[in-house]
C-alpha cells in the first residue's frame, strides 16, 4: 500500500475549537511536518533519478557536482578525469548511471561498484597526471584531501575495492572512507 493511497483519519485531523492544544500535540505536529517534508524530498529525489537516461545527462550531472578547488589546475584535472571515466564506461551505462546517482544524492544511494580495469602500475593517467583511480575520483566528488591510496579504505559492502587486488577496481567515491589520522599513524608504527 502506498503512502499516497492512505486516507487521513478525520478524527486525528479535525479538532474542536474549545479543545486546548497540549505540548504533546505540538510535538506530534512537528514530527508530522518533518515526515511530510522527508516524504516530499524522497518523491522529488525519485523523480530526479529517472532523468539520467543517457550518457550526456550523466556527464552534465557529474560536472555539476564536482568539488572544485580554487585553482585552475584542479578544474582541468576534474575535466580530464570525467572524460577518462566516460570513455571507460561507455559500454557500461548502468554503472555510469549508478555513479551519477551516488554523486547527485551525496552518497544517500551509494549503488553498486563502478569499475575500471586495473593497470599494471595501478595508476591511471589523464590530463598529464598519474593517480590512483579510487583516490582521484574520491578527491573530485567528495572533496576529501586525500593524496595517497593508503589514506582511504573501501567500505565493507564494496566487493571490488582497490586494496583487494581484483583485475577491476571500484572507483565509486562513496564506497570509500577516509582513514582517520590516528588509524593511519598506528598502521605506520606497525611497519617500524
Contacts of 75 (CB under 8 A, 6+ apart): 68, 69
Q: Measured between alpha carbons, how far is 27 from 103 in angstroms, rounded to an integer?
A: 34
Length of the chain: 192
The helix (run of H) or strand (run of E) holding residue 85 is helix 72-88
All three cell numbers of 111, joined, read: 549503488
Nearest-angstrom CA–CA distance, 180 and 65: 25
**pLDDT over 90 (residue 170):** yes
CATH numeric code, 55-185: 3.90.520.10
Task: Give me the pLDDT at residue 58, please.
Answer: 81
Q: Is the pLDDT of residue 10 over 80?
A: no
Q: Band of the pLDDT at 186, cuts 50, 70, 90?
A: low
Bridge partner list, 115 = 170
Under the banding of pLDDT at 50, 70 and 90, the label for residue 44 is: low
**Locate cell 504533546: which residue?**
24
Tell me: pLDDT of 17 over 50.
Answer: no
Q: For position 70, what pLDDT does the model report?
A: 59
**What's the pLDDT at 171?**
92
- Identify the weakest region by mean pLDDT among 18-27, 93-102, 137-146, 170-179: 18-27
Domain residue ranges in the chain? 55-185
pLDDT band at 71 (very low <50, low <70, confident <90, very high): low
Asked if 169 and 115 count as a contact pair (C-beta separation under 8 A), the reply is: yes
Query: What's the confidence (pLDDT) of residue 41?
Result: 65
Q: Buried (b) or exposed (e) across 161-189, using 16+ Cβ within 10 A?
A: bbeeeeeebbbbbbbbeeeeeeeeeeeee
Work out the average pLDDT over 18-42: 67
Q: How far is CA 156 from CA 112, 113, 160, 164, 177, in A?
A: 13, 12, 10, 11, 10
* Cα angle, residue 52 at apex, residues 48 and 54 outer, rounded to 5°: 160
Q: CA 173, 88, 75 angle in degrees (round to 5)?
A: 60
Comparing 54-63, 136-145, 175-184, which segment has the lowest mean pLDDT? 175-184
Q: 24: pLDDT confidence band, cut at 50, 70 and 90?
A: low
pLDDT of residue 2: 42
Amino acid at each position: 500500500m502506498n503512502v499516497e493511497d492512505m486516507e487521513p483519519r478525520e478524527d486525528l485531523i479535525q479538532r474542536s475549537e474549545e479543545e486546548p492544544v497540549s505540548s504533546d500535540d505540538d510535538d506530534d505536529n512537528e514530527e508530522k511536518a518533518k515526515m511530510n517534508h522527508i516524504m516530499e524530498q524522497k518523491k522529488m529525489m525519485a523523480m530526479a533519478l529517472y532523468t539520467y537516461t543517457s550518457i550526456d545527462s550523466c556527464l552534465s550531472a557529474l560536472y555539476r557536482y564536482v568539488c572544485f578547488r580554487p585553482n585552475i589546475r584542479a578544474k582541468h584535472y576534474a575535466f580530464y578525469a570525467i572524460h577518462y571515466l566516460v570513455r571507460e564506461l561507455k559500454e557500461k551505462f548502468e554503472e555510469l548511471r549508478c555513479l551519477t546517482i551516488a554523486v547527485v544524492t551525496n552518497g544517500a544511494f551509494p549503488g553498486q561498484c563502478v569499475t575500471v580495469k586495473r593497470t599494471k602500475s595501478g595508476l591511471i593517467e589523464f590530463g598529464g597526471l598519474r593517480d590512483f583511480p579510487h583516490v582521484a575520483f574520491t578527491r573530485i566528488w567528495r572533496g576529501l584531501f586525500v593524496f595517497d591510496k593508503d589514506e582511504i579504505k573501501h567500505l565493507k559492502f564494496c566487493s571490488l575495492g582497490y586494496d583487494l587486488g581484483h583485475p577491476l577496481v571500484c572507483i565509486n567515491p562513496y564506497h570509500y572512507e577516509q582513514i582517520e589520522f590516528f588509524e593511519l599513524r598506528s598502521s605506520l608504527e606497525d611497519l617500524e
